Every structure is written in C-alpha cells, then in structure tokens.
Structure 1
C-alpha cells in the first residue's frame, strides 16, 4: 500500500528509525488489538455490592441469588435496597414460591472450519494460528484430513454418506466403540448442500490413521486429528440431555432464584471426557427436593466485588474477532458487506496476517496473550486519525465495489480512480497529522529499543578471519568482510537461537548451556551447540541426554 512509505518517511522525520508497513487487513487487525489493550490499560476497577443467600430447607440447603440481580455502589445503598423489599441481612423466614424442572438437550459442536479449529487449538494447546495451519496441511498431504483452508462448518450429503460408512473405524481409532452413535440421518446443523461451495468442513478422510502412524505425528497434529475425529463422530451420537431445576424463593418482596442441572444422558459428551470447550459454565449444583409452599430459612448476605477488565486477545480469539469484524463498524452497509464476506481476511490469510504483525514487531505473544509492542503502539497512534486505515470499513467498501465489478455494475477504472483519490487524500492530510501527534514516552522507548536492537546485532569478531565483525540478520549471522565466507544460521535443528546463544557460539565456540527444543528425525532433544574446526556447527551431548527424545502418548476415550 502507498501508505507504508508515506508513514515510514514521515515517522523517520520525527526521529523514529526503521520502516512501517500498512495494509487494508493488517492495519485494522493491529488496531483491534491496540484498542482492546488501551481499554484494559485505562480500565478502573470499581467496587460493587450484591446479595447472596443460603436457603435452608427440610431436605438440605442450597445457594440462591437475587432475581432480578441487584448491584449497588456501596454496602449502605444495598442494605437500603433490602429494606425497601422488607428484608434485612441475616436469617429470616421465606417460602418456596415455585419449583420447575425442565428436560433440556444440547447438540454436539459444529464441524470445524479453519478459523474454529485454529481457535480450538489455541485454547487447548496454546498453538499459534500459523502452527495449526501448518500441522493441518501435513495431515491433509498425508490424506488423513480434508482440505484445511475452508470457511464453512458444513458438509454435503455425499461426505455424510462416506463418514457413516467409516464410522466404526473412526470409533475404533478413538477407542470409543462403547459410545452409541444411532443418528444415521443427515442433520441440517452439519449437512447443507447449499452452504458448501468450493470446500466443505474439516473432516477425516476415508483413510483412517493407524496407531503407528499416529505416534509419528507431532503433539499438535495428534491433538488436531483427535479433535476432528471426535467432532465428526459426535455428529452421529445422541444429544447431551439434562434436567434443569429452577427454584424461586420468596422473602417478603424479595425473590431469590437457584438453578440446578442434573445430567440425564451425556450422549456425545462421552467422546470428550472432562475436556472443556472454554464456553460452558461449570455444572450447576444438585438441588435438594423441595415443594411449592414449603417454609424455609433464608440467610441473606452481602458480597463486595470488583468490576473486571476485558480479557486481552489470544490468537484464537483474534481469529474469531477478524471473522466477525463487521460488528465493530458503524455503517449498516459495511456491516452487511463484512457479514457477507465473513469479516476481514480469509480463512487462508488470517494466520499469515497475525504472523506478519509478529515479524514486523508490532505485536508479541506473552503467556498466550497478544500484546502490542511500543513500535505497534506508535504506528496505531500515527494512523488513528484516519478511520479508513484503522477500521474494517475500508475493506468493506473495497469488497463492495469488487462485487459490483463481478456483477458488471462497476468498472476497474472507477475502482482504481477511487484508490488514487484516497491516496491523494493521505498525501494531503497525513503530514500534518503526524506533525501534530504527541507520541509521548512511546517515541523515546521506540528509539531506545531500536538502538538496543542495533547493538545486539553486533555479535563479535569473526572466528574465521579474526578481522571483521559478525552481524546478525533475520536468518543468518555473517561476517562483514567481503573476502570471508563465515556464516552461522540462526535456526539450527528447527530451533531459532537467541542473539545471546549466537554470540556465545561466535565468541566461545559453544553455547554456555545445552539448548532445549532441538528437533531431529527421532523427536526433540537437547544438546550443546558447538562450532567445529571447519567453522560449521555440531552437537555435544551429555551422557544423560543422549536418548532424551520426547513423544506424546495417546489417551484412551472412556
């Protein structure tokens, strides 16, 4: 985009080194993370007070909440509210006003699209979107899973038929033969010919993996394969059914509610064991048997709590947010378009967009949470006066006109003319915007980080020619001499080394500590990396670590 050199040059004039990259998907995505991070940073915790009651009945006690729930800023205000209802803190008589038991059910999860599987693997394995896509690609190339870059959770009746034919084989692999799967009629929750275009949902192929082949997979590939099989088999299993009991207790003018849930048949949930999908609440407690009109004792208490800030994005939740980006724009037309095209980016590109933001050092991952760096913050501050750069609305407008071109209602000439007009607008207004923007302490922090980063690139005198310096680049550290060919790759045995480790190899001919996470044909291992006499690298093993290869074992579905 023309905005990249424009912003880079203008920021350089402000004394900010380096280049800055903008993009119609990349920049709104970065700004989404930045906005949430700022919201969390500026969040002020506020205390509030709410009530909780223990209801003591003839057959046992249970907890209940005010219905409707009531919160107040102070304890005094909450106690005043209770007085208005004719009650006070502590024990007092009450009556069981209503008891309702309803049988409910829940269908199994939808089949996976790429986005939903990336979100799931981030939740279960803390895997990046890129790593999940690469792992899935390997399973696809091995002919074990269907095409990974799909945006639909639906299959056609044709796929349903072959899945049914191989159902017993899938269950055998999962050691789930004892779990009933009596549903052999296509359900529109999963099967819809009209909603499948180029590719259908991610499902197992007719080739069922052997136990030996499974053991050769990476832990992430194993988790993906198991999840896809479980979700597919769950489509044929009974619904999860449970009884939900609601008890309403009356104390003067105050009503209390308690809800209890008792499983009747776990159905498809048997496939997943105790694994949580991160969405379901813990099962409600078992309630004692009570009858309408029963007299009870109610012990009413007040609880002090604090408001909580929103949670930062993970790669999994960001993928979902990108897919539903239309909800964040104000224009109804833009919302409609983004809903039609399913957000910003595509199933195939969203993971790459996140990786680009990492590579450009706009974001980093800390404890599975996405954090905008000072460099990313500075860019967001620079572009936030141009809503079309930070909002998904520009993508919506472009997609809208591209659809018109496809329908022969628009022309390429008009499309390019509008882009040129937008670029001219940027050239006219952005210099003044940058000049007037106060970047505050972020500017100094970015400058300091850049200087520190530049210093870290200097790894020491070349061990081969003993004359020139070795400088660290993106993928290799190399001697600056024109006649010396010394090179040291930054990734060895599929492990990216730190600048400190590279400096140790160059200055001391070895790493000071064994490096963990190296990968070979037999699995992961650790070893000291040494610089040999011919200036290539090798491994030095301690006696205890020579056979320390790690593999994941498959758990049995009970």
Structure 2
C-alpha cells in the first residue's frame, strides 16, 4: 500500500479525484487502486520551544546561546488527530509519496512528518507546478525517488535550526542585556531575517526624515523654423552622463542670456520605429505590487487569495521568485491558453494566434525557471471564484496574454539643436500599433516620451531661438515603502550591498528570506509593533526606531551576512555545500551574538542616556499609577508602575480569574472605574463579576440584575442577561423561553448587538454568515410567534 502525503486537504482532494476515489474517510481518502491519499495541515510537527529544555526554562544570560542538543520536536496539539491518522496509515504502508508543496518549506513539512512517524519504507517525490488533472497525472507518471530531494530537505532543516537558534538566542540576549542596564522588561524580538528587514525600513525612514529638498533649474527653448516651431531641452554631457539640471538660478540665467534670439542649427534628426515589449510575467513579489496598485490588496490578502486560486487548480505554483518560463512550460502554456480560450469569459482579449513564447528570452529562460516558473494560468477555466479571486486571476491572465500579443510599435523622433555652443534635445513619440497595450495599460511609472507633433525637420536646418522658459523644480525624498515594496527590497537586498563587490555580484538576485517566507516576516514585524501599515504603506514605530538604533550595526542586522546565509542554504540545496558544515557556521554565528554583550550594553547606555527603556522602546504607558502618578507600562506577564525602583508596587495582572486583561482595560481600571466581566469560567458554570482597582490591587463584587441586563425581553419584558453560551431571559423560571445564541452560522453575536436588537428590533448588518457553503451579510431579529432568529434586510 502506498500513502500519498499532500500538504493541505484541498490538495489531497484534488490528487484523489484525479487518481480515482473509492471512499472518503476522516483525514484520508482511499483510492480505487488501494493506495491512500492523506494530508498535513501545514506544519504538523514543530520544534520544541526552549521552555521544553530544563537548561533554557529560565531567561538567563549565562544560559545563552540556545543551541539544544539534540533538537527535539513535537506534534502541534491542535493537529494531533490528523497526525494520528497519518501515522496509522504509514505504519501499514510500503512506500510514501511526498506530495507537499514543491519547495523548501513543503519538503520540510513532508520530511518532518515522515521522520516523526518513524517510517522506513520507500520514499518518492511528486513535484508539480499546478494542480490541474493533466499535471497531476503527468506528475505521477514521472515520480522521482525521494533521495533526489535529500539536499533540499537538508537545506530546509538547516534553515529551521538556524532560525530557531538565532531567533530565540538573539531575542533573549537583547532583552536580558538591555534589562541588566535599565531594569525594564520589554521583550526585544529579533531574528535572522526579521532584524535586517527592519533595518531596511529604518534606513528608508531616516532617508525620508533627513531629506532636504533642493531646488533645481531647467532651460527650455522654443525654436522657430520656416516650417513651424518646436521645443528643445538643454543638456550637457559630463563624464559620460547627460546633465539637464542646474543647481542655481544664476547658471540658468547666464545660459538664457547667451541663447535668446540667437540663430542655431538642427545638427541631428532621426526617426525610428521602436518596439515596446509587454511586461514580464508575474512572480510572488510582482503580483503583490500589481494587486496593491490595481486592487488595493495588502500582501497578506494577496497571499491568501492567490493560494486559494492555486488550491482550486486555476494558476500555477504561487511562491516563485522567477518571472520566466522554461521552454517546455512555454510550449505547455500556449497549448493551455488555446484550450481555455473558447470557453473563457475573457476570450475577447485573447490574441488571434497563440504561439509559444519559446525563443523570447524576456519570458523564457530554462536556467532562471529551474525550480519554479512564473505564475501563469492553468488549462482550466476558473469557476466558483470569489469576487477577490476573480479580480486577482484576471491580473494574472491579462499579464500572461499580453506577452502573447504582438509587441507595441511606436515612432520615436530625436532632434538635437545647437545654439551658441549649447545643446538642446527634443524627443517625441507617436503610436503606430498599440499591440499588447490594447489589453493592458503600461506601467505608469515607466518614463514615456512626450507625445506631440513636430513640424517637418531635417539635418542642417537653420533655426532661431524664439523664446525660453526656466522651469523650477525641487528634488523629492525617497519613496515611502509599501508592503510589497518591502517584500521587493528583501528580494533585492543583495543589490544594495556596499563595500564588497564580489559578494554583491554573487548575491545580486538572492536577497534575504524566500518567496515563501517574506510576507510572513513583514507580518511578524507588524505584529511585534516594530512598524505599522497604513493603507498598505509602511511606517516605523517608536519601538522599531529605538530598537534599531541599538542594533543597527550589530552583526544580526547585517543585510550582507543574512544574504550570505541565504546563499549558503541554496548551495546546500544544490548539493554544493555540506549541511553539517553550514550548521556549524550558524552555531558559530549564534555564539558570536552572545559575545557582543559588553559592546551592546555600552550602546544601550549611550542611546538611552538615563531614560527608561520603555520610553525609548516606544512602549506606551497604559495609564498613570493611582498611587505615585508615574506611568504604568506593559511587562511580560503584568502591567506595572515604572516607579518600582522607588518602592511603588502597583501592578495589574494580564490574567485575572482566567480572564485576560488587555492594555486598554488596564487603563480603565487604573482610572478607578468599574468593569463588568462576564462569562468567567467557574466550577458550576460561567459567572459575572464587577472588577475595580482600589489604588493598590483589584477587588470584586457581584453585579446587580440591572447591571447585567442587556434590555427587556420581547416576550415577557423581564431583563435579558448574558449566560454561558447564549443570551437569555431572566424570567426562564416562570416559563419564558426567549434565548439568542452567542454564535450563529459561523459569526459571533456580541452583547452590544443584542442590546441593539432588544431596543430596535434588529441588529446592525453582521458580515460573514455562512450557510450551505455560501457567505452573506444580514441583520438579525427575533420572530416572537415562531420563537426563532430571523434574517432582516
């Protein structure tokens, strides 16, 4: 019996449908030939946190670095049932096909599960670019031995271990080293890719803040000829570069006086036809930019929507860093486009003839598409897509079709005019054939020549300067990074390396992180509140700024070093480098982090200059201490007064009676206000309490019925209160059966919504109800006659 291990349920079901389903079971599908398809649910197996090791349970500097020997792993408790299913199947199997996503992370997921199950049978690998039936069939006809991917698995393991060692060690190291100096307990999260990515944001933020606009001046001249007039822009060649701006008004005025009213000669006139190629195909980075600009999607939304389209089988593998196709994929793509054309809702924008892109190096390069090629449509027309999925699919399809349309053709005219020894350039463009631009707008950021009409001109023609203009401009600051710009900066980080030309050349197209992990790193930095996103644009927070001020020059923040690590991991995957030797390098680096303690603490003292760490770290006070009036700030397990060094012991726990207390709630309590806590778990069921801070500690009392009521019962008019899993009438002992659920068709119904219903007869519109596989939005009310919840417009 053969077990086929997919990465997710959708992928497993797609594979099973192609191979022939016999019976569907909980967690697996039996095939007609006796084989089994089962699936992981992402990372079923995870590395144990340091708390699982006795020597690392307590945060202490002398326990660093955190490099456990051996590295232990565990089954994710939330996914243990599926792991039991997989293990029981593998215990009966002769062989296993790893059918997880075709990439480093997918390989790691498959290998860790197989290792945890202690499977000793034969391993095979399914490596496919999309989930269409034809591709799945072809993939199973060409299964590879698992040993062919051993190097990839070794690189994945090395990456996982390195990120574990560096992440946990550096986070504890920076946190504890800072705590020794300041006494504060702010947690300073750090990581192998996370920290240099934050440095990219920090450097850009400083460049924007420190930028000083400078004026610049240009000179335009209007030339008169016997056939008409035209305009040219002054320029000068300097050290091989074209200069068309001057720094001072005096320089331009001097030029202006020299040429006004003077005769000149048109020294060069050229007309030529220029072909405009369609944009390159999409990869995981460029699709994020396209989705933001055209749809307003965040990188997280783009990833989720794109993954869903891929899982449904309508586009190829999304986590790719290549904008190229292989020659074989190019042939296959043209066949697929011809297949879907007649039934496609977009058939009007298909080219008249769809030929393979093979031979066009802009789109096809076997070497650059070695592992995963560009994101393109599959041979299936999409169905049952959500509105967001449809819009993203359209972007992919149109970009792909544009490459198959004829090139655009323009007529460009270049005229050079010489007056009093000064040169002027005139460029114009006119469209001959739109080509691919009929279906896709050119990138607005691409520089476009002026589109105007010139009079008949020829070389050697005499001209006269009719008038001049002196436009004044200002230099602009560096552009703020959008979320996708940051992902792009990570991908291109190797290109900004300075001082080491050899390393820069090697790492030019490598960057930091991988297509599969970059979005997650950006999301982590947002979650850690090192930066924030407003309308998909990245802003550094005070916390991020001050942390980076401390570690900017630390080896962990080095873009060069991190990019070099990525190169070494790729070399392990290619079999060019020993995984063991690479892990030894990572261990040495981690040990080196700890060795920088004295230097770091000097930097902390210099940066903080006696100020509390939480202020420098951007940790906002949750409120003022009712005892000493100093700021109360968030610590690891509680909210505490910053005056603790002076003896103030005021604290508020982050969890009280099994109820979590947020920073906002803590602030209200510090003001001496009472808060009603409902649904507190108790021995005899949930109960309610009113909690208040008396200036030193929390105290409680039982709420009255009036304090608990959400409104009057629509049946008997008695108070409606919140119960364990529902809202109910307090007159239930007298027989009133009015109740409303706390959750209905997948959506939580809040107490405020119940108050609204009881007061006005219905809630506001609640988004995201789900019934029969479809989602919808509606307000809800209560039908007294039927005693049921009902949907209202």
Please give the residue correspondences for 1:373-452 in structure 2 after superposition, counting only pairs within 5 Å.
Answer: 373-386=541-554, 388-402=555-569, 406-407=575-576, 411=581, 414-438=584-608, 444=615, 449-451=620-622
Cross-structure match for 2:202: 34
For the 8 Å contact 1:249–1:255, the answer to whether it is kept is yes
Equivalent residue number for residue 467 of structure 1? 689
Separation of aligned partners in 2, 1:118 and 1:65: 37
- 1:291 maps to 457
SS at match of 1:194: coil
Distance 1:359 1:492 in 2: 29
**1:127 pairs with 297, 314, 332, which one?**
297
Partners in 2 of 1:346 and 1:311 — Cα distance? 24
Structure 1 residues 539, 201: CA separation in 2 closer, same or farther (over 3 Å shift)?
Answer: farther
Distance 1:234 1:228 in 2: 10
Taking the TM superposition and a 5 Å limit, the aligned residue runs for 1:298-377 are 298-330=466-498, 331-339=500-508, 342-377=510-545
TM superposition shift of 1:448:
6.3
Q: Deviations over 1:349-369 (max 9, x none)?
A: 011111111111111112332
Alpha-carbon spacing, 1:288–1:491, altered in 2? closer, same or farther (3 Å): farther
**Larger mean Cα displacement after TM superposition, 503-512 or 309-318:** 503-512
Q: Report deviation, 1:170.
A: 3.7
Counterpart check, 1:278 vs 2:444: yes
CA contact (8 A) 2:402 2:439 kept: yes
Deviations 1:512-544 (A, max 9, x none): 99878933456664759x99xxxxxx9986xxx
CA distance in 2, matches of 1:247, 1:286: 13
Alignment check: 8 A CA contact 1:337 1:396 kept: no
Q: Does 1:73 align with 2:226?
A: no
Matched-pair contact (CA < 8 Å) for 2:410–2:432: yes
Counterpart in the other structure of 1:519: 768
Q: Which deviates more from structure 2 when the two are superposed, residues 252-261 or residues 189-198? A: 189-198
Where 2:477 maps in the other structure, the secondary structure is: coil
Q: Could you tell me whether the CA contact under 8 Å between 2:271 and 2:414 is conserved in 1?
A: yes
Task: Give the distance between the partners of 1:358 and 1:496, measured in 2 at CA.
Answer: 26
SS at match of 1:114: coil
Deviation at 1:41, TM superposition (A): 0.6
Between stretches 107-116 and 285-294, larger displacement belongs to 285-294
C-alpha separation in 2, matches of 1:361 and 1:28: 16
Q: CA deviation at 1:126?
A: 2.7
Question: Which residue is 2:664 aligned to?
Answer: 456
CA contact (8 A) 1:115 1:320 kept: yes
Distance, in Å, in 2 between the alignment partners of 1:138 and 1:268 is 28
Closer, same or farther in 2 for the Cα pair 1:504/1:399, shift >3 Å?
Answer: same
Tell me how far 1:132 sits from its aligned partner.
0.9
Contact 1:52 1:300 in 2 (8 A): yes
Maintained 8 Å contact 1:28/1:390: yes
Shift of 1:202: 0.9
SS of the residue 2:204 aligns to:
helix
Shift in Å, 1:403: 6.0
Specify the SS of the correspondent of 2:596. Answer: helix
The counterpart of 2:286, out of the listed 88, 110, 116, is 116
For the 8 Å contact 2:349–2:439, the answer to whether it is kept is no
CA deviations on 1:137-188 (whole Å, 9 max, x unpaired) are 1111111111111121222333323322233434743242574346446123
State the Cα distance separating 1:28 from its structure 2 match.
0.6
Alpha-carbon offset, residue 31 of structure 1: 0.9
Q: CA deviation at 1:66?
A: 0.7
2:429 to 261, 265, 284: 261
Aligned twin of 1:552? none
1:197 and 2:370 correspond: yes
Residue number in structure 2 paired with 1:87 = 259
Deviation at 1:30, TM superposition (A): 0.8
Q: Indicate the SS of the match to 2:608.
A: coil
Aligned to 1:555: none
| Alpha carbons of structure 1 residues 347 and 450: separation in structure 2 relative to 1, 3 Å | farther
1:345–1:305: structure 2 CA closer, same or farther, 3 Å change rule? same
Say if 1:99 and 1:247, in contact at 8 Å, map to a contact too.
Answer: yes
Alignment partners' CA distance in 1, 2:544 and 2:282: 32
Secondary structure in structure 1 of the residue aligned to 2:494: helix
2:216 alignment counterpart: 48
Give 1:148-187 correspondences, 5 Å limit.
148-168=318-338, 169-170=340-341, 172-176=344-348, 179-181=351-353, 183-184=355-356, 186=358, 187=360
Give the secondary-structure state (helix, strand or coil) at the position aligned to 2:306: helix
Comparing 388-397 with 59-68, greater Cα deviation is found at: 59-68
Contact 2:337 2:354 in 1 (8 A): no
User: How far off is 1:98 after superposition?
Assistant: 2.3
| 3-state SS of 1:449 partner | coil
The root-mean-square deviation of aligned C-alpha atoms, in Å, is 4.0
In 1, Cα distance between the equivalents of 2:337 and 2:495?
39
Secondary structure class of the residue paired with 2:348: coil
**Helix, strand or coil for the counterpart of 2:514?**
coil
Equivalent in the alignment of 1:103: 273
Q: How far does the alpha carbon of each residue in 1:476-512 deviate from its partner, in whole angstroms, 9 at most, with x for none?
A: xxx999xx96899x99999999xxxx89679999999
Question: 1:473 is matched with which residue?
Answer: none
What 5-or-longer segments of structure 1 have no aligned partner?
471-478, 532-537, 547-558
CA spacing shift, 1:445–1:218, aligned 2, 3 Å: farther
Cα 1:266/1:430, change in 2 over 3 Å? same
SS of the counterpart of 1:235? helix
Q: Answer 1 or 2: higher relative contact order, Cα 8 Å, separation at least 6.
A: 1
2:419 maps to which residue?
A: 251
Tell me, yes or no, if the aligned pair for 2:217 and 2:246 is still in contact at 8 Å: yes
1-side partners of 2:745 and 2:183: how far apart? 39
Contact 2:568 2:582 in 1 (8 A): no
User: Is the alpha carbon distance of 1:261 and 1:412 closer, same or farther for their aligned partners in structure 2, counting shifts above 3 Å?
Assistant: closer
Give the SS at the match of 1:291.
coil
- The SS at the match of 1:370 is strand
Once the two structures are TM-superposed, the CA of residue 229 in structure 1 deviates from its matched residue by 1.1
Partner residue in 1 for 2:8: none
Residues 215, 247 of structure 2: 8 Å contact kept: yes
Hey, what's the Cα distance between the residues in 1 that align with 2:402 and 2:486? 27
Equivalence for 1:142: 312
- In 2: Cα distance, 1:494 partner to 1:250 partner: 74
- The alpha-carbon distance between structure 1 residues 480 and 218, as it changes in their structure 2 partners (threshold 3 A), is farther
Counterpart in the other structure of 1:476: none
* TM-score (normalised: structure 2): 0.57
Q: Is the 8 A contact 1:92 1:299 kept in 2?
A: no
For the 8 Å contact 1:153–1:202, the answer to whether it is kept is yes
Number of aligned residue pairs: 508
User: Does the Cα contact within 8 Å between 1:67 and 1:257 map onto a contact in 2?
Assistant: yes
